[in-house]
Chain A
């Protein structure tokens, strides 16, 4: 009995922090989404939800968001997988340093790295500058200020998360299992296909989910790298909240985004658990 009391007491600071930073704002958001005023919370109406749901533009934006999320998650996972696999398997004494290097980009803010990508991919950026000085192209290639730029920057910005999630999810992978498979006659390709891939799949899927969630909720990078042309739910919520000051619509859009993607996460994790069983 006393132990339970102690556990509760220890939980209180965390719960209070959760209440203040997560539950209360969430409640506020929910309340605002039903408000009859665009700014203050009065009355009750479903108009904002109706407005968002009947507007084909928002459906298109939702589809854009989904496409961006899936593309970024797919590419980030494909690029991060070999790195994570190498880091998980290497016995080099530099392993710690290499792992730190792989996730070091997290030490810089996403905004700073977005600016970095603008410098690299811009019309007068490093890539176009090099190609032009080598006379390979005449007019600059459009590498940023579109969804390509947004995708590239998001992939790079979110890759460290993918690597971390994968490393955490590679627990069942072991060199000994690969050796056992080889002893049983599996060539390196089959070892990868039958042993490494299935055992690393939970890590890969966790990484993909994490990147997907971060990508669909991003708005700074799509806005800056997209040149305003990339319309995703994050940028729409931002613009409704800060430009047109329609806070209730912004809240309704946020709530829908939240409901939609948290159900995706729940379904996904259930599937993941089955895979790991």
Chain B
């Protein structure tokens, strides 16, 4: 087992006067150098977890360990963590270099060393030569880089990022996404970032922790989360999904209305009622291991993709097909669709 650099155990936060906890019994851990995304809709408690790790919010119960050492009780300013705030929180009365040097100054690092470290940090985030600028003279992306440099220059044990890309426009966001990942990889710093954007989480993080209503739904690699969601919430929050009810008739095979037998991946006993999920874009035209025939009820041509609703028996499915110049299905037409058994995910027992 890899070294546990950061571990969170049974973390709970209930705000005074609140009926329900904002963070409800959450546990996870990170090995050194990993980048974890806390993903979930707004209000799910992800930012509260980040702030508890930072020391900005006092946990109601539970423990947070860094290198096996409990950090609760250590004040914020002694935790040696770097944080990139959503609105960057750069000090408006200081220059770029002064902002970056601030943490070093607080650590009593000699002026000459400070200058050298600041220069390296500016170089790391590609802001060399802008050290004397005032914060207001920087573009949004430059402010973002400055905030990252400021939190990395102190060589933190842990880098925390709160919705780091939400203040940037779409184009810049893609660029910074790669850049943050690259900088994190280069410095090898352990990082946790909070986001509500699944693309961001899938593309940047080593692992994702998906949260809902204060609870941790699932934690895993992007592929695990996307292809093997363990709860219906995870399956529907990340990507789209067709949810099917069936009854297991044999190992890895269930009877689903409209399909007949549907082969799936997952552990379920014969005779059990199950909930299965098929992603729309994993459906293909023509027969496969699993195939079914239905009527096209609704169809939208979207250039790259053709989205259709197909009815088979009482079941309706959405299918996203890649388009081509040849003949395409039309509304009212009967089509046969297929899906590979490994693309049929067992979510759990049917309700």
Using a CB–CB cutoff of 8 Å, the interface residues on chain A facing chain B are 172, 174, 176-177, 179-187, 190, 194-195, 198-199
Q: Complex: how many Å from CA A197 to CA B276?
A: 59
Q: Complex: how many Å from CA A183 to CA B78?
A: 8
On chain B, the residues within 8 Å of A199 by CB distance are 92-93
Q: Complex: how many Å from CA A179 to CA B106?
A: 14
A176 is contacted by which of B85, B102, B150, B151 (Cβ under 8 Å)?
B85
Decide: A183 and B87 in contact? CB cutoff 8 A. no
List 4 tightest A-B contacts by C-beta distance, closest first: A184-B103, A185-B106, A180-B89, A182-B76
Known: A195-B91, A199-B92. A187 touches B85 (CB 8 A): no
A183 is contacted by which of B82, B90, B91, B93 (Cβ under 8 Å)?
B82
B87 is contacted by which of A176, A185, A190 (Cβ under 8 Å)?
A176
On chain A, the residues within 8 Å of B106 by CB distance are 184-186, 190
Decide: B91 and A177 in contact? CB cutoff 8 A. yes
On chain B, the residues within 8 Å of A182 by CB distance are 56, 75-77
On chain B, the residues within 8 Å of A181 by CB distance are 91, 102
Q: Complex: how many Å from CA A210 to CA B90?
A: 30
The B103-127 residues at the A interface (CB cut-off 8 A) are 103, 106-107
The B209-263 residues at the A interface (CB cut-off 8 A) are none
Decide: B85 and A185 in contact? CB cutoff 8 A. no
Decide: A184 and B93 in contact? CB cutoff 8 A. no
Decide: B80 and A185 in contact? CB cutoff 8 A. yes
On chain A, the residues within 8 Å of B91 by CB distance are 177, 180-181, 195
**Shortest beta-carbon distance from B49 to chain A in Å:** 16
Decide: A179 and B56 in contact? CB cutoff 8 A. yes
Decide: A184 and B102 in contact? CB cutoff 8 A. yes
The B9-64 residues at the A interface (CB cut-off 8 A) are 54, 56
User: Smallest CB-CB separation from B101: which chain A residue?
Assistant: A184
**Shortest beta-carbon distance from B166 to chain A in Å:** 14
A184 is contacted by which of B87, B92, B150 (Cβ under 8 Å)?
B150
Question: Is B81 close to A, CB under 8 A?
Answer: yes
Q: Complex: how many Å from CA A195 to CA B89?
A: 11
**Shortest beta-carbon distance from A186 to chain B in Å:** 5
**Shortest beta-carbon distance from B121 to chain A in Å:** 13
On chain A, the residues within 8 Å of B87 by CB distance are 176
**Shortest beta-carbon distance from A188 to chain B in Å:** 8
On chain B, the residues within 8 Å of A186 by CB distance are 77, 102, 106
On chain A, the residues within 8 Å of B54 by CB distance are 183
**Shortest beta-carbon distance from B289 to chain A in Å:** 53
Q: Complex: how many Å from CA A186 to CA B89?
A: 15
On chain B, the residues within 8 Å of A183 by CB distance are 54, 56, 76-77, 79, 81-83, 151
Question: Is B154 close to A, CB under 8 A?
Answer: yes
Decide: B77 and A180 in contact? CB cutoff 8 A. no
Q: Complex: how many Å from CA A174 to CA B80?
A: 22
On chain A, the residues within 8 Å of B80 by CB distance are 185
On chain B, the residues within 8 Å of A174 by CB distance are 89
**Shortest beta-carbon distance from B145 to chain A in Å:** 15
Q: Complex: how many Å from CA A62 to CA B320?
A: 85
Q: Complex: how many Å from CA A158 to CA B135?
A: 36
Decide: B154 and A184 in contact? CB cutoff 8 A. yes
On chain A, the residues within 8 Å of B77 by CB distance are 182-187
Most buried by B among A180, A184, A185: A184
Q: Complex: how many Å from CA A177 to CA B77?
A: 13
Known: A183-B81, A183-B151. A177 touches B107 (CB 8 A): no
User: Smallest CB-CB separation from A188: which chain B residue?
Assistant: B77
A-B contact pairs, 11 of them (CB 8 A): A172-B93, A176-B87, A180-B91, A183-B56, A183-B76, A183-B81, A185-B103, A185-B106, A185-B154, A187-B75, A199-B93
User: Smallest CB-CB separation from A180: which chain B residue?
Assistant: B89
A179 is contacted by which of B76, B103, B151, B154 (Cβ under 8 Å)?
B76
User: Smallest CB-CB separation from A199: which chain B residue?
Assistant: B93
Name 14 extra pairs, CB < 8 A, besides A184-B154, A194-B102.
A177-B92, A179-B56, A179-B89, A182-B75, A183-B54, A183-B77, A184-B82, A184-B151, A185-B77, A185-B80, A185-B107, A186-B106, A187-B75, A195-B91
On chain B, the residues within 8 Å of A195 by CB distance are 91
**Shortest beta-carbon distance from A181 to chain B in Å:** 7
**Shortest beta-carbon distance from A89 to chain B in Å:** 15
On chain A, the residues within 8 Å of B151 by CB distance are 183-184
Q: Complex: how many Å from CA A176 to CA B80?
A: 17
On chain B, the residues within 8 Å of A176 by CB distance are 85, 87, 89
On chain A, the residues within 8 Å of B103 by CB distance are 184-185
User: Smallest CB-CB separation from A174: which chain B residue?
Assistant: B89
B83 is contacted by which of A180, A187, A194, A198 (Cβ under 8 Å)?
A180
Q: Complex: how many Å from CA A176 to CA B91?
A: 10
Decide: B154 and A180 in contact? CB cutoff 8 A. no
On chain A, the residues within 8 Å of B102 by CB distance are 181, 184, 186, 194
On chain A, the residues within 8 Å of B150 by CB distance are 184
On chain B, the residues within 8 Å of A185 by CB distance are 77-78, 80, 103, 106-107, 154
Q: Complex: how many Å from CA A261 to CA B83?
A: 47
Q: Complex: how many Å from CA A186 to CA B87?
A: 20
The B268-299 residues at the A interface (CB cut-off 8 A) are none
On chain A, the residues within 8 Å of B107 by CB distance are 185
Decide: B85 and A180 in contact? CB cutoff 8 A. yes
Q: Complex: how many Å from CA A180 to CA B83?
A: 7
Q: Complex: how many Å from CA A209 to CA B103?
A: 34
**Shortest beta-carbon distance from A273 to chain B in Å:** 14
User: Smallest CB-CB separation from A185: which chain B residue?
Assistant: B106
